[in-house]
Amino acid sequence: MSKKYQPSEKEQAFLNSVTNGKYDRQIIKGLKKFIDGNAPEDMQSFYSADELEALAALKGTAQDVEARMPVKLTRHYFELAKKSAALQVLVKANPQETVDLDGSSDPGKQMSYSPVEGLIHKYEMGLLYVSSTCSAHCRFCYREELIAKKGIERADGTVAPKGLAQINDLVVYIKQHNAEVAANGGRHPQTGREKLREILMSGGDPMVLSNRNIAAWWAALAEAGIESIRLGTKELAFYPKRFDETFFDMADKFHATYPGTKIRLMIHFNHPDEFLLKDDDGNFITESVGGLRWHPDTKHAIGELGKRNWLTVDNQAPLIAGINNDPDALRIMQREMKQNKVENHYFFCGRDIIGHKAFNIPIEESWRILNESQKGLSGVETHARLSITHYKGKTEVVAVTNDPLPGVPGAENGVVIMKLHRNAEDAPEKGLITILGRNPEAIWFSGYNDRVIYDEAGLFANLDNV
């Protein structure tokens, strides 16, 4: 049992000034309400009778879709999704999800880098699990093991669900890590890493926590010497009203108390239907002042975020079959993001989660889609890169070529070039590349095991890890 954290006087004064908001997300949890016909009348038809029958037949079997990933939906998202085939794929359970349950129970082998429960310290930054749910659930969620509370094998061989981080444990770890770094001349004696100065709060979605809870994390991390706090959230898509006056009041007071600690919001829009309004013909609406018409709640939230120069907002999202394998939609999204002060950060190839074959787009096709989507964008709108998460670290899919490379065995159909973009510990291999013979079917690294042409990055050095 971890010790209770004792805030400093300054910290306590800030926490005493924070108020919690009241939210009515009108969430439907689970399929039961739909199957029993007890969902609100207008929401009941979100699933057809045939769909519900097929899903109900899987209940309690090895193909149970809710055992893989719990079903959850807000009214806000329902209102958007009823007019969007893409959003329906994102949030509606589908029997196809469990036809092939191949995949990793711990994608990215995160548990190998968990020195404290709820903390993954793989890169220079630390990732915290502070919540095990979101306001709604994406069917493709790459944290399905956390959200569905599945047992994961630890480094010591024991199996238990991933636990959430506790403030006291984290503060003790950060201070100890940074003291060891300072005592060793600025580098950690074992890992070579510098001071831990950045923390990503994730889960689940930290925005399901109360303002007081978020404030307690932010203040404790700032007191421990953390200089930037990232917060990963899809709440702007699921329930933008969460970004209300009480939240901004808390955030402004935090900034006034801890001006040295910056907030970086990592938001998650997959598709423009998640924030743009449509006319009766299903087309986006052009604003007379330029740009497209946003949902007013989302526009308000993004506008308030944009007013605060100590806070940055970046969008990142996976490319998922049936949702955003659409260059035109992605082009619109990237343009609208940048126009509203949101940086386009990463698009991801789907991870090798349990059931990933139902969601993942082939790697080469993902590259093509993103590349097509960026034709017609300006330089500042095209900052997003395509990333695939190798066990070693985030890897950029840099290019896919079509023509044979004369004289290079294995390159008869063109090549895929990958670059190790981040690397565990102090990133010794960052920037190294791997060149592969093409395989248009490949949805994971393993699809290239037999066609490695050049592997400077060592992505295929240990085939158990790909």
Which is nearer to ligand SF4, 204 or 393 (by Cβ)? Answer: 204
The yes or no reply on residue 356 touching ligand SF4 (CB under 6 A) is no
Both structure tokens of 318? 């996976």
Q: Is 323 in the site for ligand SF4 (CB under 6 A)?
A: no
Q: Is the CB of 188 or the CB of 234 nearer to ligand SF4? A: 234
**Would you count residue 240 as binding ligand SF4 (CB under 6 A)?**
no
According to the binding rule CB under 6 A, does residue 134 interact with ligand SF4?
yes
The region of 130-138, 161-169, 270-278, 392-400 touching ligand SF4 under the rule CB under 6 A is: 130-138
Of 143 and 331, which has the nearer Cβ to ligand SF4? 143
Please give the span between the terminal C-alpha atoms of the chain, in angstroms, as a whole number: 36
Tell which one of 70, 103, 107, 204 touches ligand SF4 (CB under 6 A).
204
143 is an interface residue for ligand SF4 by CB under 6 A: yes
Q: What are phi and psi of 174, to 5 degrees?
A: -60, -45
Residue among 138 and 167 whose Cβ is closer to ligand SF4? 138
Number of residues near ligand SF4 (by CB under 6 A): 9
Query: What's the closest the beta carbon of residue 272 comes to ligand SF4, in angstroms?
Result: 17
Is 141 among the residues that bind ligand SF4 (CB under 6 A)? yes
Check if the beta carbon of residue 420 is closer than 8 Å to that of residue 395: yes
Least CB distance to ligand SF4 at residue 356 (A): 13
Distance CA 424, CA 121 (A): 9
- From 205, 273, 314, 336, residue interacting with ligand SF4 (rule: CB under 6 A): 205
User: 3: Cβ–Cβ under 8 A, 6 or more apart, which residues?
Assistant: 168
Query: Which of 68, 137, 193, 392 is close enough to bind ligand SF4 by CB under 6 A?
Result: 137
Pick from 268, 271, 338, 421: which binds ligand SF4 (CB under 6 A)?
268
Q: Report d(CA 94, CA 78) in Å as an integer.
A: 16
Binding of ligand SF4 by 234 (CB under 6 A)? yes
Q: Report the residue number, 205 or 364, with the smaller CB distance to ligand SF4.
A: 205
- Which one, 235 or 326, has the nearer CB to ligand SF4? 235
Least separation in angstroms between residue 448's CB and ligand SF4 is 26
Task: State the binding string over 158-197 for ligand SF4 (x if CB under 6 A, else -).
Answer: ----------------------------------------
| Distance separating alpha carbons of residues 237 and 397, to the nearest angstrom | 27
138 binds ligand SF4 (CB under 6 A): yes
Q: What is the binding site for ligand SF4 (CB under 6 A)? A: 134, 137-138, 141, 143, 204-205, 234, 268
